[in-house]
Chains A and B, each alone.
Chain A
Amino acid sequence: MNNSRTKTLAITVSLSFFVVLVRFFYWQVIKSQQLSKLVTQQSYKLNTIYPKRGQILSSDNFPLALNLTNYQLSVYKPNLTQPIKEVFDQINLEKPTFITDNQKIIDGFSSNPNQKWVTFNQLFSATESAKLKIDGVTFSEIDTRAYPEVALAKNLLGTLTTIDGKKSGISGLEGYYQKQLTGRLGYIWESKDATGKTILSKKRQYYQAVDGMTLHTTINRSIQYYVDKLLSDGVSKYTADSGSIIVLEPDTGAILAMSTINSTQTATVSSTKNPNIADLFEPGSIFKPLVVSMALDKKIISPDYVCSDCDRPRQIGQYTISNWDQATHSNSSLQDIIKNSDNIGMSGIISRLGLKNFLEYYSSLGLNKKTGIDLLGEAKPQSKDLWPEIDLATASFGQGFAVTQIGMVNSFNVLANQGQLVRPYLVSSFSEGSKIFNPKHPQPTRIFSPETVEKMNRILKYAVENGAVANFKPKNIEVCGKSGTAQIAVKGAYTESATIASYVGFSPCHNPKFTMIVTINNPKTSPWGSSTAAPIWFELAQIFTPLL
């Protein structure tokens, strides 16, 4: 009996051990990898460290775009310990416009018993969220981009969009320098206790996040402010559709200010398009000084040139070239051709220059390609293969081809920069901590000889002081510039009702401090560049003179 019991006990114990061993084998051998993974997951945590997006600074190191952590408020009804109205009243005490701004959402949430949860779009600062410790009210962190100067240079800075939780630039500097501004993700791999807190005594791996670089731009805040303000006033005063201005430093191509303002009536504000670099327009008479410079540079004409057939409109096939005021100026000198903006005289000069020479200069001035400015969205001018005689004639006064505003001012800047073409740019350097990187800029390209430029600038100075804009020019500043009024082509024909009025120039004529273009799109009070764009140009020039 006893023997039988002992045997049974021995077998039971042995079987139990066997079952335990089989189980051990299962967990420790077969499931080994899966379990060790699980242990690692449970006892270690991998935290992602997000880098801060780089700041964008103006030329005086003022932050034009920076990062700000804000908080988004949510309310969860089941966790509330006080009436819902009192909760919103408390929130409103901290943020006085909260109830007014969110009245509809609050009413809907309060009256619907089935809706347990609501999140508001309105953002709270760190201080505000810290003060609102209410049961049932929670805050989640939201990283936002802040612009202390509000709308200043907004077109240049560009816009951000969120793709897969990551902020990505889609236009302007934010888009062009996306890689430099983004930085690199960092990670922390560390052991944690049951509550999820870090155990310092255990192994820890830390890969530091690299914050995005800071962009140091050439934007002059004061100049940008004045440009925005006066352009806005101008668009409103001349009841225009829109207006654009670019100011650049002649010898470097550094952009000091760039702006486009749309009128409220015809606002076509786009968050991604910058008209200064994306819109093409026919430049009109502001192109004339470049054609004269081409002819002077090729020595086809001299400053003593006199137009012997300017006493009548020029006939080219079925087309007639006449002047803007239908007047004719017999025996017009070269400087009077520019002063009077004489289309007949200009068509004669380009005819002497010839198509081959014209296209050579046209190409070397970069008018058939992008300038390469460091902004996303620059348009490429359409190249033209066929140039019949009439097209060459109209090109002499800036009609029949289209350029961007940045392309036009950059090519005109050749006259301000002793005949050399530079590439316009906005970012002068990047910095990462104490390290500073300077982007390489191409060497200036010579287009016109210094002698040609000197001759041309004397003509421009004469035209400013004796032409239609003479009354606007402040006495204390010297200006070399040209106004232009271009017709707008609609469905292959020029419309009589709308123009693009422009003024381009630099000041002073010797060693200029700035080159500027003002373009007013479809002004209703007067169609002429000399009476719309020019007053804005000269007003700004007077302001800039002591600043630069």
Chain B
Amino acid sequence: MIRRFLILVSIALFIAQLGFSVYYSGEIITQNSEFELNSTTFQQTNLTHQQLVYQLSLLTSINHLSEIAPPDLQPIRQTIDLSHE
């Protein structure tokens, strides 16, 4: 009777141990995957942010504005006025 009881307890413990391990190793794998994914997203977001800052700078640069502005809205006269000479 006692022998049977001990065998049952052992089997129960074995199953509990197995379940515990499977659950937590799965959890660790999930966390690791999420970490990898978030790291990649973070890097991608950083790169996108960097690109956007650069694009915005290009579009708002005096260099660009002077190229796209029509002649009457040019930020600067194109030649030196030497009419006084």
Which residues of A come within 8 Å of B, CB atoms?
62-63, 66-69, 125-127, 146, 148-152, 193, 197-201, 221-222, 225-226, 229-230, 233-234, 237, 471-472, 531, 535-536, 539, 543
Other 4 A-B pairs with CB < 8 A, given A66-B57, A148-B61, A535-B84: A66-B53, A150-B61, A222-B62, A472-B84
Known interface pairs A200-B28, A200-B32, A471-B85; A149-B80 also in contact (CB < 8 Å): no
Given contacts A200-B28, A201-B28, A234-B80, contact A221 B53 (CB under 8 A): no
Return chain A residues, CB-CB under 8 Å to B72. Answer: none
Measured CB to CB, the nearest residue on chain B to A229 is B76
Q: Roughly how many angstroms separate A225 CA and B44 CA in the complex, as a whole number?
A: 34
CB pair B84–A148 under 8 Å, yes or no, is: no
B80 contacts A152, CB within 8 Å? no
User: Once the chains are docked, how many angstroms separate the CA of A523 from the CA of B35?
Assistant: 65
Contacts of B73 in A (CB 8 A): none
Q: How many Å lie between the Cα of A539 and that of B79 in the bound state?
A: 10
Task: Name the 3 nearest CB pairs between A and B, nearest first.
Answer: A148-B57, A471-B84, A126-B47
Pairwise interchain contact B54-A531, C-beta atoms closer than 8 A: no
Least Cβ–Cβ distance between A483 and chain B, in angstroms: 14
Q: Once the chains bind, are A535 and B82 in contact (CB under 8 Å)? A: yes
A520 to chain B, nearest CB (A): 12
- Which residues in chain B, 12-40, are within 8 Å of chain A measured between CB atoms? 28, 31-32, 35-36
Q: Which residues of A contact B44 (CB under 8 A)?
A: 126
Q: Which residue of B lies closest to A472 (CB)?
A: B84
For residue B9, CB closer than 8 A to chain A, the reply is no
CB distance from B21 to the nearest CB of A (A): 13
Question: Which of A198, A472, A531, A543 is B35 in contact with, Cβ under 8 Å?
Answer: A198
Give every chain A residue within 8 A of B62 (Cβ-Cβ). 149, 152, 221-222, 225
B85 vs chain A, min Cβ distance (A): 7
Which one of B36, B50, B61, B82 contacts A198 once the chains associate, using CB atoms below 8 Å? Answer: B36
Q: Is there an interface contact between B47 and A197, defined as CB atoms closer than 8 Å? A: no
In whole angstroms, what is the CA distance A307 to B58 when docked? 59
By size class, the interface of chain B is 20 to 34
Residues from chain A with Cβ under 8 Å of B71 in the complex: none
What residues of chain A lie closer than 8 Å to B63, measured between beta carbons? 148-152, 225
Question: What 1/0 mask marks residues of chain B from 42 to 61 whose CB sits below 8 Å from any chain A CB?
Answer: 00100110110110011011
Structural contact, B80 and A535, CB atoms closer than 8 A? yes
Chain B, Cβ-Cβ closest to A234: B80
Chain B residues near A125 (CB-CB < 8 A): 51
Q: Which of B60, B61, B79 has the most chain A CB atoms closer than 10 A to its own CB?
A: B61
**From A126, A221, A535, contact of B48 by CB (8 A):** A126
Q: Point out the residues of chain A lying under 8 angstroms from B47, CB to CB.
A: 69, 126
Shortest distance from the beta carbon of B60 to any chain A beta carbon, whole Å:
7
Q: Is the CB of A198 within 8 A of B51?
A: no
Taken together as a complex, chains A and B put the C-alpha atoms of A222 and B66 apart, in Å, by 11
> Residues of B contacting A237 with CB < 8 Å?
79-80, 82
Q: Closest CB-CB distance, A215 to chain B, in whole Å?
A: 16
Bound-state CA distance A63–B53 (Å) is: 9
How far apart sit A237 and B50, CA to CA, in the bound complex (Å)? 41
- Closest B residue to A470 using CB positions: B84
Q: With A and B bound together, what is the CA distance between A134 and B23 in angstroms?
A: 39
Chain A residue nearest in CB terms to B56: A148
Q: Provide the bound-state CA to CA distance between A146 and B57, in Å.
A: 10
What residues of chain A lie closer than 8 Å to B28, measured between beta carbons?
Answer: 199-201
In the complex, 28 of the A-B residue pairs with CB atoms within 8 angstroms, ordered by the A residue number, are A62-B57, A62-B60, A62-B61, A66-B54, A67-B50, A68-B51, A68-B54, A69-B50, A126-B48, A127-B51, A146-B54, A148-B63, A149-B63, A152-B62, A197-B36, A199-B28, A200-B28, A201-B28, A201-B31, A225-B75, A230-B76, A233-B80, A237-B80, A471-B84, A535-B80, A535-B85, A539-B80, A539-B81
